[in-house]
Chains A and B, each alone.
Chain A
Amino acid sequence: MKGTSRKDIDSAVQDAKREATTRFLSRSEIGTPSAYSVSARPQQNVVGVGLGTKVTKGKATTRQPCVRFYVDRKLGETAIPPEFVLPSTVNGVPTDVIETGRFLAQPAAVPIQQRRHRPASPGCSIGFQFTGAKAGFVMAGTFGAVVAAGSVRYILSNNHVLADENSLPIGSAIFQPGLLDHGKVSTDQIARLTRFVPLKAGAANVVDAAIAEVLVAKTVRPRVLGKVGALKSATPIDATEGMKVHKTGRTTGYTRGSIFDVSATVKVQYDLGTLTFEDQVLIRGEGGPFSGAGDSGSLIVDRTSARATGLLFAGSSRFTIANHIGDVLDALDVVLVL
């Protein structure tokens, strides 16, 4: 279609584009899971429809016109239920799927914490595969720490990052990176869900925590990505007001903050509903938010002693909330690994 203007485009192809726009560019009202995720449902993933020649690996492979679907995320077919796969033709006109992202911001490069890491380190993307009614979504959270019970090593993160809020069966696959960050079901499983502390809707919670057994020990290492680095002790330090902390998370990467409250009782929105947590740590970011959606599971580390003090699980536009790491380790009966 090089050199052609809009008025030169065949009316049948224009009709196919209109048909594709009507079918796939409307927004449907489907709730978003509380774990950080995007939908593979065409009505939520398609951000534009256009016309052009089919492009493969950046090059036009034919002069035949096609209908182009511009999508937020181009997902591997194994991550998508068959009913959500976009059609190969519309009204007999071939289609092409091009990942553009949302037309708001385009990151210059994939941040390091969202890439595939072997060995995988705390601070990087991790997650599970949605099943059932949420099978059209993909998600990612943060690998918090390597922990151990005896000689067995586990990945520590949140219940809602590893167990989908109590709903995944023990043994479920855990991927690095998470499927939202292009993790592949066939090759990127690094752990299996072992244990989680159930989230309770009708009573106070203390932790949002879970562990997943590492399949091959050498595929993980305990040093936190980026400036947080290695812990100096496997013994946690109690959070105190004013303590200067930092973390590396899947979404906002490396950030610094200070502890504002060490015994807050808070209400937090989940898919399960509004849950109450007691004895929580509130953190305020330095020069911007300390965390964002997808950072859940990050280990909060004291900048002075380089010892762990919290496990990030929730936040607002102004504050981040973390469990006391001592409560997390006690609840799961594990210790930090250096």
Chain B
Amino acid sequence: MAVPPEADVKALKRRVAPRLLAIDGVTGLGTPGGVLVVYLENDSAALRREVDAALRAEGVPETHVVVTGEFKAQ
């Protein structure tokens, strides 16, 4: 699969951010390597299902996830 232009990925990230960030356990979104990545607090199956459903609702067929743990001010 061809990597979409950077501007397209950033636009996609902006579009899906409100729905994805509203999910408890999603810690963020990013575009490393020019692909959309969803950052997760943990690797639970329930959280992944919820993220997949939200992405399908936004018309995003697939994405990458990275488990980051919870982010806190240090």
A contact set with B: CB distance below 8 Å: 34-36, 141, 158, 160, 208, 241, 251, 260-270, 276, 280, 282, 291-296, 312-321
Contacts and interface: CB of A to CB of B under 8 A. Distances in A.
Nearest to A282: B30
Interface stretch (B21-29, B44-52, B53-61): B21-29
Given A260-B32, A261-B37, A318-B68, A267 B73 contact: no
A9 to B, nearest CB: 45
B66 to A, nearest CB: 8
A258 to B, nearest CB: 11
Nearest to B29: A265
Contact of A319 (B13, B29, B31, B69): B69
25 contacts: A141-B74, A158-B73, A160-B73, A208-B73, A241-B32, A260-B30, A260-B32, A263-B31, A265-B13, A265-B17, A265-B30, A266-B71, A267-B26, A267-B28, A268-B71, A269-B70, A276-B21, A293-B72, A314-B73, A316-B27, A316-B68, A316-B69, A316-B71, A316-B72, A317-B69
A36 B13 CA distance: 32
Contacts of B10: 263
A265 B30 CA distance: 6
Contacts of A260: 30, 32
Interface residues of B, number: 22
A55 B14 CA distance: 62
Contacts of A316: 27, 68-72
Given A282-B30, A296-B74, A315-B72, 15 more contacts: A34-B73, A141-B74, A241-B32, A241-B33, A261-B32, A263-B10, A263-B31, A266-B71, A267-B71, A280-B28, A282-B68, A291-B74, A294-B74, A316-B27, A319-B68
A237 B30 CA distance: 20
Contacts of B37: 261
Nearest to A199: B73
- Interface core residue of A251, A267, A293, A313 (most chain B CB under 10 Å): A267
B39 A266 contact: yes
A241 B33 CA distance: 8
Contacts of A314: 71-74
A262 to B, nearest CB: 8
A119 to B, nearest CB: 25
